[in-house]
Amino acid sequence: MTTASPATALTDTVLYEERGGVALITIANPPVNGLGDMVRRGLADGMARAAAGAAVRAVVLQGAGKLFCGGADIRQFNTPAATAQPMLREVNRTIERAVKPVVACIHGVALGGGLELALACHYRIADAAAQLGLPEVNLGLVPGGGGTQRLPRLIGAPAALKFITSGKPVDARQALALGLVDAVIDGEREAAAIAFALDKADSAAHPVLADKPPAAMSAAEMKAQREALNPKARNATAQRTAVDCVQAATELEFEAGLDRERALFDGLVAGQPSKALRHLFFAEKEATKFSSTTARAIRSVAILGAGTMGGGIAMAFANAGYGVVLCEREQAALDRGLALVRRNYEISAAKGVLSAAEVEARLARIQPTLDMAAFADADLVIEAVFEDMAVKRAVFAQLDRICKSGAILATNTSRLNIDEIAAVTQRPQDVIGLHFFSPAHVMKLLEVVRGARTSDEVIAGCMRMAAAIAKIPVLVGVCEGFVGNRMLTGYWREAGFLLEEGATPAQIDAAMQGFGFAMGPLAMADLAGMDINWATRKRLAPTRPKHLRYSQVADRICEQGRFGQKTGAGYYRYEAGSRTPIPDPVVDGVIADCAREAGITRRAVSDEEIAERCVLALVNEGARIVAEGIAQRASDVDVVYVNGYGFPAWRGGPMFHARSLGWKQVLQKLQALHAQHGEHWVPAPWIVQQAGQA
């Protein structure tokens, strides 16, 4: 007869039960069974109780709910709880030194510290649907609970390095092939785990990774691993540190390797890049939240406009399994759009990302048409036509007549007033802005623009839809340029002023890349097309205060028909078929003329001044956006700028970067710039408030 003891709580987060000679230790710390201080204490107590139990022959470690363990509780980082005893290192040592076999029974996920906990066990079995990974590098960290020392001893140093530096999880079958788990189970996992543990109970010895010799890896192999890393990756510092940790595993005895791992981990936790990446991790989760009792269902999608943006949006939905109706006015334009979509998919296939069958399946989800009547049954219609208010209002008047009651009517405008567009319909509550970023099938950011009368259920439906197509949605309000492009105006403004004052386009772009941007502002303008923003400046010219300084440089360049890469010349010139920017004396002459006409004596401008002025322009405008409620929170501004505009993730976004500098220091810098350069630099009242609270 199977004997069992009732489950008892060792702590609020760990349960203990004995069943048929097996101690079941269960982590019950929702939502992810994180390894907080009380969990670690409970695990240590459970192992002590199992060791002392005369009837206990083996131990099974498992997780309650939907998963095994999602890793460390990062909410406790930089708090006393993070260093409360016992640390994970001590818990893991207790597990692997146990005389009785300890089996990790993994379901759902074993990530980060959760997988490190499992590596300390003598055996690991996994549910067929489980995912296992060490994603710490995505937070600017390395595994700090022995993962970089045990994993190389289990699967070899090269495989461990790839596993750790990628931060990507593997499924149970892949884990079995790697040697990461001992068995994959189907069916009732607890019964299977008990049977597996009892089968190992009579073994004379159990595998202990700490006792294995260091994993061998030559200096040449280690060098190749380092050189394969992308130095511009958002988590580059953590990836390089991970290589250092694994190198320690190949050269040092186990305990010395753990010491090295922990020292490097602690350095990363205290460092700015990891703090920034952890800030973004929580910010991106927070940005997706929108409370509504109901959400409008979106099952079918229609897109008007098959250009670069419309085609990219169609791909984003097709990639997620949606059927898409793609409409154009003329057959030639529709054919061009579909050809571009196919070409993009074929590029992915050539890289091994998609199979030929997957390409055809995704293309088959896109139904081309020249008739807007095909939109009649769509749940969501997205307009992606020319950025002109009159054109968009005419389109929405048509959509209002064609689309079914309850359909969501969305515009992909990057800066126009949603309320003016909604006003031509009889259903302003169903009108919303969905500002995708180009290329829309690649870029993660989606600005969800709420109009004055947009209903909560429409917003909620679009926020859920964004998650379904793997986008990061940020809810924003109506204003010129919303969040991202409104801030970009000040960023480009300062770049223009700095050109007149003495900098060159190449110096400005190099300075901003040195700060960490993926691309400098002027090269970015050339890539996006200078004519787009020229049209915006001309539209806004009648309302621009005449007493404020205005740089004519960008306008003069556009007046020469230089719109960037598309015309072979903009701030730079471009050779045929090349995207490499080449400094152009013609532009130098335009800049000199504009400076002379404005009465500016050109001077030497430092890279530090360039970076500071351009970034603080973003910060100051971001603060106004937060105060006006255009963004719900300052962290939303960071999510927009990191995911849509190339702001370095390891700096956390403009608002987190400013907070890291200190709001008092930021205010002092803005006040100095105001005194030197005038009204553009009036400090935002929100920053004054933050500085007063610091």
Catalytic residue IDs? 116, 136
One-letter amino acid at 61 equals L
DSSP-assigned beta bridge partners for residue 51 = none
Q: Which residue has the tokens 């088959």?
A: 364
Mention every residue, 6+ apart, whose C-beta is less than 8 A from residue 512. Answer: 519, 520, 521, 610, 611, 614
Please, are residues 693 and 662 in contact by the beta-carbon 8 Å criterion? no
Q: In the 8-state DSSP scheme, what is residue 451?
A: P
| Alpha carbon distance 212, 209 (integer Å) | 5
Tell me the helices (H) and strands (E) count for the chain, helix number first: 28, 18
Which string of b and e fits 598-617 if b means at least 16 CB within 10 Å?
eebeeeebeeebbbbbbbbb
Q: How far is CA 531 from the centre of its chain?
A: 30
Question: What is the DSSP pairing of strand 183-185 with strand 123-127?
Answer: parallel
What residues does 171 pair with on adjacent strands?
A: 131
CA–CA gap between residue 218 and residue 443 (Å, rounded): 39
Partners of 111 in the β-ladder: 133
CB 365 within 8 A of CB 318: yes
Sort strands 109-111 and 131-133 into parallel, antiparallel or unpaired: parallel
In SS3 terms, 148-212 reads as HHHHHHHHCHHHHHHHHHHCCCEEHHHHHHHCCCCEEECCCHHHHHHHHHHHHCCCCCCCCHHHC
How far is the CA of 585 from the CAs of 275, 569, 600, in angstroms?
43, 12, 19
Provide the edge-to-edge strand list for the sheet that holds 380-383.
Answer: 366-369, 323-327, 300-304, 380-383, 408-411, 431-436, 445-449, 472-476
Angle between helices 88-96 and 113-120 (to 10 degrees): 30
Inter-residue long-range contacts of 8-12, CB under 8 Å, 24+ positions, other chains counted: 10/41, 10/42, 10/45, 10/46, 10/49, 11/38, 11/39, 11/41, 11/42, 11/45, 12/38
Residue pair 63/108 in contact (Cβ under 8 Å)? The answer is yes
Spatial CA neighbour of 412 closest among 345, 332, 312: 312
The amino acid present at 388, given as its one-letter code, is D
DSSP code, position 682: P
Q: Which of 159, 180, 194, 198 is nearest to 62 (CA)?
A: 194
What phi and psi values does residue 12 have, to the nearest 5 degrees? -65, -15
- The conformation of residue 479, written as its DSSP 8-state character, comes to S
